Amino acid sequence: MRFAQAKRTDNNELAREKLKEEWEGAYEGNMEKLIPSFAKQLHQGDIPVNGVKTALRT
C-alpha cells in the first residue's frame, strides 16, 4: 500500500508501479532491503509497517 500526499492510497500493482516511477532505478535494491525485514516481522507474528519518504525532484 502506498499513501500519497494528496490523501490517496494505492494498492498492490498500482502502488508498485508508482514506487518504480518515484524510485527511478532504485526499486529493486530498495525492495531487497525492505523485504527481509517485512518477512522477519511477519514470522514473529507482527504486522510490518515501514515508511519511506521521497523527495520531489525539480
Domain boundaries along the sequence of the chain: 2-43
pLDDT for residue 32: 92
Q: What CA–CA distance (Å, rounded) separates 9 from 23? A: 17
pLDDT for residue 22: 84
- How many other β-carbons are positioned within 10 Å of the β-carbon of residue 4? 11
Q: pLDDT (tens digit, 9 = 90+) per residue, 1-58? A: 666 666 677 777 888 888 888 888 888 998 898 889 889 999 999 988 876 666 666 6
Using a cut of 0.85, tell me whether the model's pTM lies above it: no
Do 16 and 35 form a contact (C-beta atoms < 8 A)?
no
